[in-house]
Chains A and B, each alone.
Chain A
């Protein structure tokens, strides 16, 4: 490996880095935000529009963020119609007629006048060359004294340049607009990144900056100039994960403002670049060449999107049309969509892949203004139309005060819908109307039907196989193992699902492995955390699609029947006959060519590079010969020819063709014997393959059938069919982890980070993939391929190697937890003592770490030793340790409490995990021990999370992801939910529990800020921590977390994780903590955010050396899971998901639990051993206090004594980089966060309720409320809980009435006895975690609209509610009552995914529901008033039955509807009650099947579990179960 000196790199805090610094890369930045627009339907520009928009913006300020400098915002801005009157008055030169001139807004360097002049010169020349006329420069007044310091230091000079249209263009506004775009692109290209042009248009203009919302108008006095008028205004307040100064990155861009994130942007940008060679436009003519490349390098996802959108619109498509192309709604499996519209989407699917990800995009061209929401509907958008002709849309309701009498109607953005205001038509154009207009422009459906060929329609062809080798030889040559057969393929075929494993990944990194791992193992999947949500591909399957296509694409800017000439494939895994049909396709449209991707063994390792060159050249030739289906094949493998790793071949050709700009002329298909697990298929597709034929895998499945390894009667064909199904399902899960919904948008999107690949290799063949520690190149890859090949030729025996990846085997892959390390650790804490621990730590530090981990490649620099006695005592050090989040449910009660007692005794922290905690543990035992977990986890399932639980924590940990399976949810099968577990999770024994992949209240960074705020309300004394998993960009996310006001951030390594999860997630998602932690430390220090947040790390920490290295890389605290479990007796059975843990740790079986032999002393001894070892190292380093270790990367260096043939290319210098910041910049937490609770409305409520809290006297009061008042009722409920425990107060003791629009999380955590009534409306997360109180919301007095037709609350209402009641007179958004486990609610209509994951309580819906109602609903009952009989179609029937109401239901429903009438005055309720008997018949009862069975069992008195005979999971004779998945997440 390369010797890397610790060096520091200078980083200016007044300038945003444009290149990676250390492990930080500006490309990782994310942003998200609040957005709003205001429009006047009559189209008359007024200044009032600006005033309204500015007010809205200020009321959204809490959604934006500030960094270390509290007065510098992340960005705010405004886009409006070009104000003609204003410019006429401020520009002295006479202006042409309105529309015949445009204004270019420039950000120019402030500190370099010469450079500025040069840039201006470039611009002026470009204008003149393109035949337009420069009218005048204008210096935009910029009052920087109102901006923050960082913003001031980095501020540009803002100038506007007025440009007059040439006579030819003066009367053609569109042509002039196009010309301005061309000029801008010419100037931008010539000037480079220093020239920033926020807008250049004759129609619109942008004002923006690195400002906080209220600063915008103060800094730009133009905006308060009364002459500044517009009929539409778009405003935006930005929250970026980073605080590096950038004025450019503020929104709006030229046409859009964005809230959310484009997950597929890397692929989209690549594909766009590939499309450029085919672009042609009559409108642009020869000018088109001048605008290339379309996507400006270095832009954010929003900027890239804006670049492409702009081109599509200027080339002639309407703005809504272009939006529908780029962000199509889900259409694959819908039955409620018109043929015309489906045809539109199908046809446009042939032109471009979706830009996928959670996004609410507001857009305008100066004439229409609108917003669209992605297919998942993961961002909020609420709109309001007034009787006097105004339309306001914003991320929240209540941003503008509007008298109730003036409100005409209220609504919300809906998934996949477009909300459009057309000022020419003077009205809101409904989604259906605008889409009909666009979809009927051309016979798109017909074109598609006629043009597209289905693979299944191609004639069968006899196989044309170049070479026949014995299967065993090919299996050996492609590195198949017995484990592949037994652990991967057999379960896949048996269950049509990926196999499950437990206890994390303790293998060697691929780059350190001597087992010749396949190339795929060097790639780690990225996943969504915080800045974008993963999707639940199982329960929200309506938005997912695996369909793909091959063929050549045509000019993106045109449309013709020929554009639909694509070959459609229903899913990307091809069987042999399908591949043949493709290979031998015989048509005038399609032409296939197969390229051999093997190379002569005789050429040795050098042959691989030669072969890649040959392959690329052959591809070029084929394309020149109008081939449009390229098949890369390794069928030629034999004694003399070895296969190039399929992934390398695919990606190499893909990037070659992208560089050649010919990529879109062909589809890429790979025929390879190599791939056999989901990750392998995902990487092939992620690097450009449209389809994969895994022929050896398919033959191997047939072999499994022959060998009787599959259930009797299963044919080879069935086995293959099921395996392919399982892989498709796994692919969906993999892409949904990143929040991606379709295979075409995943294809080529490169959602991976490479760990251990050399930069040259990556740059050439995997262009754009992050690979931050260097590693092996093609030579080593070739050697590994040849070594695998040598297992088959010459053949030595008939047996496949064992493998040893999923279970330890002596000559298999190295495992850090092996018989020796486990036995030594256990012996040390039981009898062996310090001497045995030393043996253990020596083995781990010198053998295990070196063979498998990055820290093993490091060593300590020699310091000036100090005597051991001077080093801080171990008893202090152990306080920095905590145990991991393992729930009661995944662990037995005995094991869970043992950890808690141990950690409490030593002053460390144990963690509840996701699953609540028995309240008896909040009270110390008589022995003085406490079984209370200091850390209370808050995960997506919110099991057992109520205000009582939250109030009893020292730290509240928001689990964004877990190391074993980031981006995925979990499931606790019903048989593990015994009465005890059910009681602490507030669910029903015997009913399975599902944890969703995302937190449904965190779809982006500002949502996290809100949840942190909510949790602070529930317990103002606890620290709030956010748990992240290491991946590329985690440091940036951590910076965002710090800006969200968290106290603590946990960076988990990829390799830890005790929970059960799909095997490929265990192994291929996430990266080592060393990289993630170092990146986090560097990013936090560079942003000066480190001082206000604790950093913890975990992931296979085992020794004192590990602890010291973690501290040096930047951790204040360390977490351990596996090691303390081993200390208490865990033997790494890896059967946690099977409930058969033989040592009583990971089981609920009472018989097995009795076997638990661990004690708190075992755990304590382990931690003290670790701390003592750390002290020894500290003494040698000469560091007396642990805190002085933190961030001291200068004490580490690469260990050049380690000479591993593969590790030589590893370069750890980025890991060891000390950010070059001012001396004295804190490297560890030195001060607390500023509390955001100061302005909470609740302080007033608590004062008003003082008597009720102290003496139970009822109190009532009335107050106004605004959208800036968030989580109202939360702090109050905390006080009630502290005083009265879980039981709270009697119903109605505290009663508050509010008038206005409530902010987010209204009524969160309400404790029993607290009742809130709101006259107005409320935002997202109303009633979050409702814990026994009551919420009622009704329209304000004087409103004239029909409440039942208008939106009254936002998305994700009653999320995780455990008890209480809620009544809403009006409609709710998406995911109403998601994961409700006990609250009763009445609502008059809900959006998509209503009652998702619900496990308890009653929900009455007096109106229409959206799609996918009751998905994942395993308990509770919903009653839906189904007026039109359409409900069954909108319901997800997977877990529920629809029934008529039974006798016992009637009183439940009647009482709730009656209370609804009482509390909200609902006319709907009144009408129903008036003719109750008739009404009853129209209700449909939604009853989860398991819930009914569990209730019946409880009623019959045998609800207690069926232990010990019930070992309910059948493994079908194999070790790795797939049928039921239990997870550390739910479990």
Chain B
């Protein structure tokens, strides 16, 4: 554990951030970590609980008390070893995870006092890269078995790394030009710079994972080719976005968030000079989705919505407004509904709103209007909870020249699953037995494609556990 009783003497200190006024002008990461003693002190606050709820709250079961202690005791190299034991990509989660671990930290019983677990995680992995401790770990023997992984997002990457390290020949098929999935193309650079993703791809490659980019299965790669592998893992994500079927939806200027984010990320890659080979040409004309000078409406209050807001800020929009269907949650943890150690249903201020823009809750969009292009959004306030009954007299219209729909995802796209003959569950995801195996023997599914839209950390967890399931299957092959 850290220092006995330190939690009584030391306060939680959040990650330092670059000021919104400054960062809004560039695409570089704005979250930093404490360093040196200040960080060790944060590690010292950990109490090494007999029942570490953080470890339970973490989807990959990060050994949080163990590495907090190692940081406190300045044993960083041991800390990264411990961290990698459960998590292939702490550099992703340390930046992008909403940190359910902190919500379930025992210190969080007094709301707001949790150990800064995520910050410590990030500091560990950053230092480990800086020190050169993270190296490829190719297997010391080959099993002669082959696995195809479809999708190079976090689930596919984690699965591929685990399988490769066990000595299997792993090929990853990815339809985009580079790896990382939404981490690369959905999440903005100012949250995670793409070199972070790329060096992981390089690590996997050095370990012997064969990445095939721009290779969409069913289109660029035949399903038959997949069947030649001893096992196949579908990790294609849940990329069908939820739509908003209201009047005027068809107007130009109403886009799915991910279309916007893909464009912005490719734009930044070009600007920064690290666009991947095989990347599509920059869009032009009507195909360009831009917030510059526009009144921007982002519909959906989640992380994707926030990323849209923040990207818009960086394009000098006329205004940005983020609206949310459900009502404003309470400012502190509602213990009757989501008591500690559960994830609290409470109001959070997203980073993007710190940079500007407005937010409104309990808003039901009723229509978009405009002349070919969207000009106005019409909405009405609702009761804030299902069935979201409209409140009379609150109808309103606002200028809206770019509308981004960030209302979540419904499930995996059609095509691949059907071609492989894989059944879907009632929610439309790839249906699996308990052990990640789909209705087709030898074909597995992991990540959002299996569980539906979720966190990166869940994707990593799924990838790892799916790899175990695959191994068990490979072990009984004759």
Point out residues on A near B: beta carbons under 8 Å.
482, 502-503, 707-708, 796-799, 802, 806-811, 815, 817-820, 822-823, 826-827, 830-831, 1129, 1131-1135, 1138-1140, 1142-1143, 1149, 1151-1152, 1155, 1508, 1511, 1513-1515, 1517-1519, 1521
Contact = CB atoms under 8 A, between A and B. Distances in A.
B109 interface: yes
Contacts of B110: 1155
B1 A1133 contact: no
A91 to B, nearest CB: 76
A1133 B4 CA distance: 13
A1151 B5 CA distance: 11
B65 interface: yes
A1518 B44 CA distance: 11
A819 B341 contact: yes
Nearest to A1517: B73
Contacts of A827: 339
Interface in B1-56: 1, 3-5, 7-8, 47-53, 55-56
Contacts of A797: 85
B51 A815 contact: yes
Contact of B56 (A796, A799, A810, A1514): A810
Given A503-B50, A808-B52, A809-B63, A1508 B8 contact: yes
Contacts of A831: 335-336, 339
19 contacts: A707-B78, A799-B85, A802-B63, A806-B50, A807-B49, A807-B51, A808-B55, A810-B56, A822-B51, A823-B341, A831-B335, A1133-B106, A1134-B49, A1134-B50, A1138-B4, A1140-B47, A1142-B7, A1151-B8, A1515-B4
Given A503-B50, A1514-B4, A1131 B109 contact: yes
Nearest to A1508: B8
Given A482-B66, A1142-B107, A1155-B110, A1131 B53 contact: yes
Contacts of B49: 807, 1131-1135
Contacts of A1521: 4
A820 to B, nearest CB: 8
Given A1511-B4, A1511-B8, A1518-B1, A1132 B51 contact: yes
Nearest to A1129: B109
Given A482-B66, A1513-B4, A826 B339 contact: yes
Interface string B62-89: 0101100100110100100110010000
Interface in B368-411: none
Nearest to A815: B51
Contacts of A1519: 1, 48, 69
B366 interface: no
A1132 B106 CA distance: 10
A808 B51 contact: yes
A1508 B3 CA distance: 16
Contacts of B335: 830-831
Contacts of B69: 1517, 1519
Given A797-B85, A1133-B47, 5 more contacts: A807-B49, A807-B51, A822-B51, A831-B336, A1513-B4
Contacts of A1515: 1, 3-4
Nearest to B113: A1142
Contacts of A1514: 4
B5 A1140 contact: yes
A796 B85 CA distance: 12
Interface residues of B, number: 40
Contacts of B336: 831
Contact of A819 (B51, B73, B75): B51
Contact of B50 (A482, A830, A1135): A1135
Interface in B89-120: 104, 106-107, 109-110
Main DSSP-derived SS at the A contact region: loop
B7 A818 contact: no
A807 B52 contact: yes
A1060 to B, nearest CB: 12
A811 B73 contact: no
B50 A807 contact: yes
Nearest to A1136: B50
Interface of B: 1, 3-5, 7-8, 47-53, 55-57, 61, 63, 65-66, 69, 72-73, 75, 78, 81-82, 85, 104, 106-107, 109-110, 166, 335-336, 339-342
3 nearest interchain CB pairs? A1134-B50, A819-B56, A1511-B5
B50 A1132 contact: yes
Contacts of B75: 707-708
B154 to A, nearest CB: 20
A644 to B, nearest CB: 27
A827 B75 CA distance: 38
B4 A1140 contact: yes
A1142 B47 contact: yes
A1098 B78 CA distance: 42
A205 B106 CA distance: 73
Given A1132-B50, A1133-B50, A830 B1 contact: no
Q: Which residue among B56, B78, B81 has the maximum number of chain A CB atoms within 10 Å of its CB?
A: B56
B81 A799 contact: yes
A1152 B110 CA distance: 12
Contact of B339 (A811, A830, A1135, A1151): A830
A700 to B, nearest CB: 15
Nearest to A1151: B8
Contacts of A806: 50
A809 B72 contact: no
A798 B165 CA distance: 13
A1513 B50 CA distance: 18
B140 to A, nearest CB: 9
B65 A1142 contact: no
A1129 B336 CA distance: 15
B465 to A, nearest CB: 11
Given A830-B339, A1152-B8, A810 B55 contact: yes
Nearest to B107: A1142
A1131 B51 contact: yes
Contacts of B78: 707
Nearest to B110: A1155
Contacts of B104: 819
A1511 B3 CA distance: 11
B50 A808 contact: yes
A794 to B, nearest CB: 8
Contacts of A1140: 4-5, 7-8, 47
B341 A807 contact: no
Nearest to B48: A1519
Contacts of B106: 1131, 1133, 1142
A708 B70 CA distance: 11
Contact of A807 (B8, B48, B61): B48
Nearest to A483: B66
A394 B150 CA distance: 89
B474 to A, nearest CB: 15
A802 B339 contact: no
Contacts of A802: 63, 66
B55 A809 contact: yes
A811 B8 contact: no
Contacts of A798: 81
A861 B342 CA distance: 38
A225 to B, nearest CB: 71
Contacts of A1513: 4
A1142 B106 CA distance: 8
B51 A817 contact: yes
B339 A1142 contact: no
B283 to A, nearest CB: 45
Contacts of B81: 798-799
A811 B50 contact: no
B101 to A, nearest CB: 12
Contacts of A807: 48-52, 65
A815 B50 CA distance: 11
